[in-house]
Amino acid sequence: MTPPAGTDVAALGQSAARRLLELWNDQQSAYVAHRDLRFDAMAEVLRLHCPDDPAILDLACGPGAISDRILAQFPRATTVAVDYDPILLQVARRALDRYTGRVEVHDVDLVADGWEQALTGRRVDAVLTSTALHWLSPEQLLRVYSTVARLLPVGGLLLNADHFRYGESAPALRDIAGRHDAQVQQEAFAVGTLTYSAWYAEAARHPELAGLAAERDRRFADRPPPAPASLEFHLAALRTAGFAEVGTVWQYLDDYVVFARR
Protein backbone atom coordinates (compact mmCIF):
# COMPACT_ATOMS: atom_id res chain seq x y z
CA MET A 1 0.00 0.00 0.00
CA THR A 2 2.21 2.80 -1.29
CA PRO A 3 1.17 6.32 -0.32
CA PRO A 4 0.68 8.89 -3.07
CA ALA A 5 3.63 10.97 -4.19
CA GLY A 6 4.16 14.19 -2.28
CA THR A 7 2.83 12.97 1.07
CA ASP A 8 6.09 12.03 2.76
CA VAL A 9 6.20 14.96 5.19
CA ALA A 10 5.09 14.21 8.76
CA ALA A 11 3.81 10.78 7.77
CA LEU A 12 0.51 9.70 9.28
CA GLY A 13 1.22 6.83 11.68
CA GLN A 14 -0.98 3.80 12.22
CA SER A 15 -2.11 4.89 15.69
CA ALA A 16 -3.18 8.33 14.45
CA ALA A 17 -4.98 6.74 11.51
CA ARG A 18 -6.72 4.25 13.80
CA ARG A 19 -7.89 7.14 15.97
CA LEU A 20 -9.31 8.92 12.90
CA LEU A 21 -11.06 5.71 11.85
CA GLU A 22 -12.63 5.41 15.30
CA LEU A 23 -13.74 9.04 15.16
CA TRP A 24 -15.19 8.36 11.69
CA ASN A 25 -17.18 5.41 13.03
CA ASP A 26 -18.54 7.57 15.86
CA GLN A 27 -19.38 10.38 13.44
CA GLN A 28 -21.15 8.07 11.01
CA SER A 29 -23.12 6.48 13.83
CA ALA A 30 -24.59 9.92 14.52
CA TYR A 31 -26.05 9.94 11.02
CA VAL A 32 -26.92 6.23 10.86
CA ALA A 33 -28.76 4.86 13.88
CA HIS A 34 -27.75 1.30 14.83
CA ARG A 35 -24.98 1.42 12.23
CA ASP A 36 -23.19 -1.57 13.75
CA LEU A 37 -26.28 -3.70 13.12
CA ARG A 38 -25.88 -2.99 9.41
CA PHE A 39 -22.41 -4.47 9.51
CA ASP A 40 -23.52 -7.39 11.64
CA ALA A 41 -26.15 -8.28 9.03
CA MET A 42 -23.61 -8.02 6.21
CA ALA A 43 -21.14 -10.24 8.06
CA GLU A 44 -23.79 -12.88 8.75
CA VAL A 45 -24.77 -13.01 5.08
CA LEU A 46 -21.11 -13.45 4.14
CA ARG A 47 -20.66 -16.15 6.77
CA LEU A 48 -23.68 -18.11 5.56
CA HIS A 49 -23.21 -17.74 1.81
CA CYS A 50 -19.54 -17.19 0.95
CA PRO A 51 -16.41 -19.34 1.42
CA ASP A 52 -14.54 -19.00 4.71
CA ASP A 53 -11.75 -17.16 2.89
CA PRO A 54 -13.88 -14.52 1.15
CA ALA A 55 -12.26 -12.06 -1.24
CA ILE A 56 -14.07 -8.76 -0.74
CA LEU A 57 -14.23 -5.59 -2.82
CA ASP A 58 -14.81 -2.72 -0.38
CA LEU A 59 -16.46 -0.23 -2.73
CA ALA A 60 -16.08 3.47 -1.84
CA CYS A 61 -14.28 2.34 1.29
CA GLY A 62 -13.82 5.68 3.04
CA PRO A 63 -11.24 5.33 5.83
CA GLY A 64 -11.61 1.54 5.83
CA ALA A 65 -14.55 0.85 8.15
CA ILE A 66 -15.87 -2.20 6.27
CA SER A 67 -12.45 -3.72 5.55
CA ASP A 68 -11.44 -3.28 9.18
CA ARG A 69 -14.48 -5.21 10.38
CA ILE A 70 -14.32 -7.96 7.77
CA LEU A 71 -10.59 -8.60 8.17
CA ALA A 72 -10.98 -8.77 11.96
CA GLN A 73 -14.00 -11.08 11.87
CA PHE A 74 -12.84 -13.36 9.04
CA PRO A 75 -9.21 -14.35 9.66
CA ARG A 76 -8.84 -15.80 6.15
CA ALA A 77 -10.55 -12.93 4.32
CA THR A 78 -8.82 -10.52 1.97
CA THR A 79 -10.10 -7.16 0.78
CA VAL A 80 -9.43 -4.68 -1.99
CA ALA A 81 -10.59 -1.26 -0.79
CA VAL A 82 -11.20 1.53 -3.32
CA ASP A 83 -12.15 5.18 -2.97
CA TYR A 84 -11.60 8.54 -4.68
CA ASP A 85 -11.26 10.82 -1.65
CA PRO A 86 -7.49 11.28 -1.13
CA ILE A 87 -7.86 12.06 2.58
CA LEU A 88 -9.97 8.99 3.30
CA LEU A 89 -7.67 6.84 1.19
CA GLN A 90 -4.61 7.88 3.17
CA VAL A 91 -6.35 7.16 6.47
CA ALA A 92 -7.43 3.75 5.15
CA ARG A 93 -3.90 2.90 3.99
CA ARG A 94 -2.42 3.55 7.39
CA ALA A 95 -5.34 2.32 9.53
CA LEU A 96 -5.37 -1.04 7.73
CA ASP A 97 -1.59 -1.55 7.93
CA ARG A 98 -2.13 -4.10 10.69
CA TYR A 99 -3.57 -6.46 8.07
CA THR A 100 -0.43 -6.54 5.91
CA GLY A 101 -0.75 -9.04 3.08
CA ARG A 102 -4.54 -9.23 3.33
CA VAL A 103 -5.62 -5.81 2.05
CA GLU A 104 -4.91 -3.48 -0.85
CA VAL A 105 -6.07 0.15 -1.01
CA HIS A 106 -6.51 1.76 -4.43
CA ASP A 107 -7.33 5.25 -5.69
CA VAL A 108 -10.34 4.60 -7.95
CA ASP A 109 -12.97 6.89 -9.43
CA LEU A 110 -16.19 4.92 -9.81
CA VAL A 111 -17.48 7.48 -12.32
CA ALA A 112 -14.58 6.83 -14.70
CA ASP A 113 -14.71 4.14 -17.36
CA GLY A 114 -12.50 1.17 -16.60
CA TRP A 115 -12.28 1.65 -12.84
CA GLU A 116 -12.58 -2.13 -12.45
CA GLN A 117 -9.07 -2.55 -13.87
CA ALA A 118 -7.80 -2.15 -10.31
CA LEU A 119 -9.24 -5.65 -9.75
CA THR A 120 -7.62 -7.28 -12.79
CA GLY A 121 -6.70 -10.87 -12.03
CA ARG A 122 -8.21 -10.85 -8.54
CA ARG A 123 -10.98 -13.11 -7.30
CA VAL A 124 -14.02 -11.29 -5.92
CA ASP A 125 -16.62 -13.22 -3.93
CA ALA A 126 -18.57 -10.24 -2.63
CA VAL A 127 -18.79 -6.47 -2.98
CA LEU A 128 -19.65 -4.46 0.13
CA THR A 129 -20.39 -0.75 0.40
CA SER A 130 -21.92 1.53 3.02
CA THR A 131 -23.31 5.08 2.90
CA ALA A 132 -21.52 5.85 -0.34
CA LEU A 133 -23.35 5.10 -3.58
CA HIS A 134 -25.93 7.84 -3.00
CA TRP A 135 -23.24 10.20 -4.36
CA LEU A 136 -23.80 8.66 -7.80
CA SER A 137 -26.44 9.79 -10.26
CA PRO A 138 -28.96 7.15 -11.38
CA GLU A 139 -27.05 6.65 -14.65
CA GLN A 140 -23.72 6.32 -12.83
CA LEU A 141 -25.25 3.95 -10.31
CA LEU A 142 -26.54 1.62 -13.03
CA ARG A 143 -23.10 1.59 -14.67
CA VAL A 144 -21.42 0.73 -11.37
CA TYR A 145 -23.92 -2.05 -10.66
CA SER A 146 -23.39 -3.43 -14.18
CA THR A 147 -19.62 -3.39 -13.73
CA VAL A 148 -19.91 -5.13 -10.35
CA ALA A 149 -22.12 -7.80 -11.91
CA ARG A 150 -19.40 -8.50 -14.47
CA LEU A 151 -16.76 -8.75 -11.75
CA LEU A 152 -18.65 -11.26 -9.66
CA PRO A 153 -18.91 -14.98 -10.38
CA VAL A 154 -22.28 -16.70 -10.47
CA GLY A 155 -23.46 -16.75 -6.86
CA GLY A 156 -21.34 -13.75 -5.88
CA LEU A 157 -22.93 -11.07 -3.71
CA LEU A 158 -23.31 -7.32 -3.52
CA LEU A 159 -24.39 -5.78 -0.20
CA ASN A 160 -25.17 -2.06 -0.15
CA ALA A 161 -26.03 -0.39 3.16
CA ASP A 162 -27.54 3.08 2.88
CA HIS A 163 -30.49 5.32 3.55
CA PHE A 164 -33.24 5.00 0.95
CA ARG A 165 -35.57 7.83 1.83
CA TYR A 166 -39.33 7.46 1.88
CA GLY A 167 -41.09 9.27 -0.92
CA GLU A 168 -44.25 11.30 -1.14
CA SER A 169 -46.37 8.16 -1.08
CA ALA A 170 -45.36 7.53 2.56
CA PRO A 171 -45.57 10.95 4.26
CA ALA A 172 -45.97 9.64 7.81
CA LEU A 173 -42.99 7.29 7.51
CA ARG A 174 -40.92 10.03 5.90
CA ASP A 175 -41.74 12.35 8.80
CA ILE A 176 -40.99 9.71 11.45
CA ALA A 177 -37.67 8.80 9.83
CA GLY A 178 -36.65 12.44 9.49
CA ARG A 179 -37.47 13.26 13.10
CA HIS A 180 -35.67 10.13 14.26
CA ASP A 181 -32.52 11.13 12.33
CA ALA A 182 -32.63 14.60 13.87
CA GLN A 183 -33.02 13.16 17.37
CA VAL A 184 -30.12 10.73 16.99
CA GLN A 185 -27.85 13.47 15.64
CA GLN A 186 -28.82 15.93 18.37
CA GLU A 187 -28.04 13.40 21.08
CA ALA A 188 -24.72 12.39 19.52
CA PHE A 189 -23.47 15.91 18.89
CA ALA A 190 -24.49 16.98 22.40
CA VAL A 191 -21.92 14.57 23.88
CA GLY A 192 -19.14 15.70 21.58
CA THR A 193 -19.41 13.41 18.56
CA LEU A 194 -17.92 15.12 15.52
CA THR A 195 -20.06 16.23 12.62
CA TYR A 196 -19.08 15.20 9.09
CA SER A 197 -17.33 18.53 8.41
CA ALA A 198 -15.74 18.57 11.86
CA TRP A 199 -14.19 15.16 11.17
CA TYR A 200 -12.42 16.59 8.13
CA ALA A 201 -11.27 19.55 10.21
CA GLU A 202 -9.84 17.11 12.75
CA ALA A 203 -8.12 15.13 9.99
CA ALA A 204 -6.63 18.35 8.61
CA ARG A 205 -4.78 18.88 11.88
CA HIS A 206 -2.34 16.29 10.59
CA PRO A 207 0.05 17.90 8.06
CA GLU A 208 0.00 14.96 5.66
CA LEU A 209 -3.79 15.03 5.41
CA ALA A 210 -3.98 18.82 5.32
CA GLY A 211 -1.76 18.67 2.26
CA LEU A 212 -4.39 16.57 0.47
CA ALA A 213 -7.29 18.98 1.06
CA ALA A 214 -6.77 20.96 -2.15
CA GLU A 215 -6.70 17.79 -4.23
CA ARG A 216 -9.89 16.60 -2.55
CA ASP A 217 -11.60 19.90 -3.34
CA ARG A 218 -10.45 19.69 -6.96
CA ARG A 219 -11.75 16.15 -7.41
CA PHE A 220 -15.23 16.86 -6.09
CA ALA A 221 -15.70 20.49 -7.17
CA ASP A 222 -18.10 19.58 -10.00
CA ARG A 223 -19.89 16.70 -8.25
CA PRO A 224 -22.82 17.92 -6.19
CA PRO A 225 -24.87 15.12 -4.63
CA PRO A 226 -27.75 14.04 -6.89
CA ALA A 227 -31.34 13.63 -5.78
CA PRO A 228 -31.62 10.44 -3.72
CA ALA A 229 -32.63 7.29 -5.56
CA SER A 230 -35.37 5.18 -4.04
CA LEU A 231 -35.05 1.63 -2.78
CA GLU A 232 -37.22 0.52 -5.70
CA PHE A 233 -34.82 2.17 -8.14
CA HIS A 234 -31.82 0.37 -6.63
CA LEU A 235 -33.56 -3.01 -6.81
CA ALA A 236 -34.64 -2.40 -10.41
CA ALA A 237 -31.14 -1.21 -11.37
CA LEU A 238 -29.61 -4.36 -9.89
CA ARG A 239 -31.97 -6.55 -11.90
CA THR A 240 -31.17 -4.59 -15.04
CA ALA A 241 -27.45 -4.96 -14.29
CA GLY A 242 -27.80 -8.74 -14.40
CA PHE A 243 -28.26 -9.87 -10.81
CA ALA A 244 -30.42 -12.97 -10.49
CA GLU A 245 -31.86 -12.27 -7.04
CA VAL A 246 -32.34 -8.96 -5.25
CA GLY A 247 -33.93 -7.93 -1.98
CA THR A 248 -33.15 -6.55 1.47
CA VAL A 249 -31.60 -8.33 4.44
CA TRP A 250 -31.94 -5.60 7.08
CA GLN A 251 -34.02 -2.50 7.69
CA TYR A 252 -34.39 0.15 10.36
CA LEU A 253 -36.89 2.82 9.27
CA ASP A 254 -35.45 4.11 5.96
CA ASP A 255 -32.03 2.54 6.44
CA TYR A 256 -31.49 -0.74 4.56
CA VAL A 257 -28.95 -3.35 3.59
CA VAL A 258 -29.70 -4.25 -0.02
CA PHE A 259 -28.76 -7.75 -1.19
CA ALA A 260 -28.02 -8.83 -4.74
CA ARG A 261 -26.85 -12.28 -5.89
CA ARG A 262 -25.22 -12.68 -9.27
> In this predicted model, what pLDDT tens digit does every residue of 149-195 receive, in sequence order?
999 999 999 999 999 999 999 999 999 999 999 999 999 999 999 99
Number of domains in the chain: 1
72 occurs within a structural domain = yes
- What is the value of pTM for the model shown? 0.94
Taking alpha carbons only, the member of 149, 133, 154 closest to residue 257 is: 133
Residue type (1 letter), 91? V
Taking alpha carbons only, the member of 61, 63, 7 closest to residue 210 is: 7
What's the N-to-C CA distance of the chain in angstroms? 30
188 occurs within a structural domain = yes
Taking alpha carbons only, the member of 99, 97, 98, 117 closest to residue 107 is: 117
3 occurs within a structural domain = no
Residue 257 binned pLDDT confidence (cut-offs 50, 70, 90):
very high
Whichever domain contains 199, its CATH number is 3.40.50.150
Residue 9 binned pLDDT confidence (cut-offs 50, 70, 90):
low
What residue numbers bound the domain in which 204 lies?
14-261
**Do residues 70 and 46 lie in contact, with contact meaning Cβ atoms separated by under 8 Å?**
yes
2 occurs within a structural domain = no
203 occurs within a structural domain = yes
Mean pLDDT of 117-125: 92
Per-residue confidence (pLDDT) for residue 227, from 0 to 100: 86
Burial class of residue 205 in the structure, from the number of CB atoms within 10 Å of its CB (0-12 exposed, 13-18 middle, 19+ buried): exposed
* DSSP string across 139-183: HHHHHHHHHHHHHSPTT-EEEEEEE----TT-HHHHHHHHHHHHH
Model confidence over 203-219: pLDDT tens digits? 999 999 999 999 999 99
